[in-house]
Amino acid sequence: MTPRSTYQRMLGWGGRCVVSLILAFLLLPAIVVTIAAFNDKAILSFPPQAWSWRWFARALDYPDFREGFHNGLIVTAWASTIALMVGAMFAFVIDRYSFPLKRAIEGVLVSPLVIPHFTVGLGFLILAAQIGWSRGFAVVIACHVILVLPFVLRSVYVSLRNLDQSFEQAAASLGATPLRVLLTVTLPLLLPGLVSGWLFAAILSFNEFTASLFVTSQRTQTLPVAMYNYVREFADPSMAALSVMYIVATAALIAFANAFLGLGKVLNIEQSE
């Protein structure tokens, strides 16, 4: 390496400043919402005159939030698990075989990435009405499965690409049946990809809002829908307190995923040399 000139060093510091400013922009809402959540008064003011935890207690007590949380868990558990199974199986056949309609099915299943969520929501709302489904959990879950499937597909597909098939060939040559190879070799090797796919699907489903607004009813409304209704009606910091809990839980899950699964690898952004 040649010694760095003053000019290059200045460029480096300039770059650091720009990146710090951008990070501040990314973090600003989280910081501000945290300050607002601990404000004792019901009306927004900066800086707060007195501090309190009472909005956290109110957020945890508010019936619509509790019910939304409960409904959200039901929808998320079903949707992410179904999406994981459907997505993992299909990623497997995409990776291994070519067959008619492969590209067509894959294209349809990844298309929700670019189709607006309000269109997906309206579609499932109309479809449910047409086939006579009541607006229960089934239609919400079906809608969420479709919305999170592209992420599961990608996550499992990337792991399958990185999988060394010689382990499977070794097992097969020793006489293991295809099912046994799948269950005892492929599945364990795929576990990190499956876990990260399921985790992403669960987080996305739990936070999904626009399509949920269309397909949920008063009885099945998920937490984001309950929060949206709250923001429209009330201005007190309960919502800020709930947001803080949300942000902390999500950041913890992401940090966990990063520590145990290597987010850089899942997102395919490791520097290649």
Partner 1 sequence: MNQRPFLRSFTAPAALCALGFVAAMAAVLQYSLRAYVPGSLDPGGFTLANFADLLKPLYARVFLDTVGICALTAIATLLVGYPLAYALVRIAHPLLKSALLVVVVTPLFLGEVVRTYAWIIVLGNNGFINSLLRGLGLIDQPIQLMFTTFGVVVALVHVTLPVLVIMLAAALSHIDRDYQRAAESLGAGPIRVFLTVTLPLSMPGVIAGVTTAFAWTFSAFATPQLIGGGRVNMISNLVYQLGFASFNFPFAAALCVAGLALTITVLAILRQAAKPFENIGAH
Can residue 118 be called a binding residue for partner 1 (CB under 8 A)?
yes
Can residue 137 be called a binding residue for partner 1 (CB under 8 A)?
no
**Segment contacting partner 1 by CB under 8 A, of 35-43, 58-66, 160-168, 188-196:** 35-43
DSSP secondary structure, 173-232, as one string:
HTT--HHHHIIIIIHHHHHHHHHHHHHHHHHHHHH--HHHHHH--TTT--HHHHHHHHHH
Can residue 189 be called a binding residue for partner 1 (CB under 8 A)?
no
Minimum CB separation of residue 192 from partner 1 in Å reads: 17
DSSP secondary structure, 58-96, as one string:
HHHH-HHHHHHHHHHHHHHHHHHHHHHHHHHHHHHHHHH
Q: Which of 52, 81, 165, 258 binds partner 1 (CB under 8 A)?
A: 258
Crossing angle of helices 54-61/238-261, nearest 10°? 80
Phi-psi region at 205: left, alpha or beta (left = phi > 0; alpha = psi -120 to 50): alpha
Q: What's the Rg (C-alpha) of the chain?
A: 23
Cβ neighbours, 10 Å, residue 172: 15
Cβ neighbours, 10 Å, residue 94: 19
Compute, in degrees rounded to 10, the torsion defined by CA atoms 262, 263, 265, 269: -140
Can residue 15 be called a binding residue for partner 1 (CB under 8 A)?
yes
Instruction: Enumerate residues 43-72 that contact partner 1 by CB under 8 A.
Output: 43-47
Can residue 183 be called a binding residue for partner 1 (CB under 8 A)?
no
Q: Which of 122, 138, 163, 176 binds partner 1 (CB under 8 A)?
A: 122
Query: Side chain identity at 138, as an amino acid letter?
Result: A
Can residue 187 be called a binding residue for partner 1 (CB under 8 A)?
no
Can residue 25 be called a binding residue for partner 1 (CB under 8 A)?
yes
Question: Percent helix, strand, coil in the chain (nearest 5)?
Answer: 75, 0, 25
Can residue 255 be called a binding residue for partner 1 (CB under 8 A)?
yes
Minimum CB separation of residue 2 from partner 1 in Å reads: 9
Which C-beta is closer to partner 1: that of 70 or that of 102? 102
Can residue 97 be called a binding residue for partner 1 (CB under 8 A)?
yes
Cα 220 from chain centre: 20
CA distance 170 to 184: 12
**Segment contacting partner 1 by CB under 8 A, of 73-81, 159-167, 178-186, 190-198:** 178-186
Can residue 208 be called a binding residue for partner 1 (CB under 8 A)?
yes
Which C-beta is closer to partner 1: that of 19 or that of 191? 19
Minimum CB separation of residue 160 from partner 1 in Å reads: 12
Can residue 6 be called a binding residue for partner 1 (CB under 8 A)?
no
Q: Which of 71, 76, 155, 243 binds partner 1 (CB under 8 A)?
A: 243
Q: Which of 105, 163, 176, 189 binds partner 1 (CB under 8 A)?
A: 105
